[in-house]
Structure 1
Amino acid sequence: MKIKLLTSRTDASIGLRLAGVETVLVRTADQAVKAIEELRSQQDTGLLLITAEMENWCAEQLAAIRKNGRPLVTSVPDSKNGFNQSDTISDYIKNAIGIQID
């Protein structure tokens, strides 16, 4: 299973790509909705990370995914919305699924 990021923030995309996370960079809500549907249909998507703006743009689609339980979806902060330098992506993953990734 792969970890994938959906974001409109270039900085988040670059940072997580450097960590080996597949990223999808979108610029509009319509692009985000299409990307969510595509990511949802990919069998290898195990954890979908989204930035705050995606919560607003894709609320309906995200609610359906969360109800279904696959893939697991969790929000991560970005430089614009709630970034705290003391937090790490592994902390967010641990909070989401209960497993520490080192």
Structure 2
Amino acid sequence: MKMYVISDNIDTQTGMRLAGVEGVVVHEHDETVEALHRAIADGDIAIILITEKLAKLVSREMDALKLTYERPLMVEIPDRHGTGRTPDSITKYVREAIGLKI
């Protein structure tokens, strides 16, 4: 099983390649949807990493794909410019999910 990154900038994709994760750089809505479908069709891909900017661009399509397919897992990641989330979003998520304050 492998991971695959769909990024909107070359820096994120290059960093992931250095870690052994293949991927693609796209910028437009249709390119992103096509990249998602190609990744889903590849039976070896277990996790799709997609930058937050692109995930917002194709949010409806991602929601439909998540409901349709059990695999792969789709994970939104920040790009080199950071994240649009609040600074404590991960700790807040953990606190709400398991009741543990970290």
Q: Is 2:18 the counterpart of 1:3?
A: no
Counterpart of 2:88 in structure 1 is none
Counterpart of 2:29 in structure 1 is 29
Q: Which runs of 4+ in 1 moved over 3 A?
A: none
Q: Which has the larger radius of gyration?
A: 2
Percent of residue pairs bearing the same amino acid type:
30
CA RMSD of aligned residues (A): 1.8
Within 2, Cα distance between the matches of 1:18 and 1:31?
Answer: 23
Within 2, Cα distance between the matches of 1:26 and 1:71?
Answer: 19
User: Unaligned regions of 5+ residues in structure 1, if any?
Assistant: 84-94, 96-102
TM-score by length of 2: 0.74
Within 1, Cα distance between the matches of 2:29 and 2:51?
Answer: 13
Within 2, Cα distance between the matches of 1:48 and 1:34?
Answer: 13
Counterpart of 1:69 in structure 2 is 70
- Number of aligned residues: 84
Cα distance per residue 1:2-39 (max 9 Å; x no partner): 10000111110010000000111112111111111111
User: By how many angstroms is 1:69 displaced?
Assistant: 2.4
* Aligned AA (1:47): I
Counterpart of 2:58 in structure 1 is 58
User: By how many angstroms is 1:62 displaced?
Assistant: 1.2
Within 2, Cα distance between the matches of 1:44 and 1:34?
Answer: 17
User: By how many angstroms is 1:56 displaced?
Assistant: 1.5
Q: Show the 5 A alignment for 1:12-51.
A: 12-51=12-51
Report the secondary structure of 1:6's partner residue. strand
User: Unaligned regions of 5+ residues in structure 2, if any?
Assistant: 85-93, 95-102
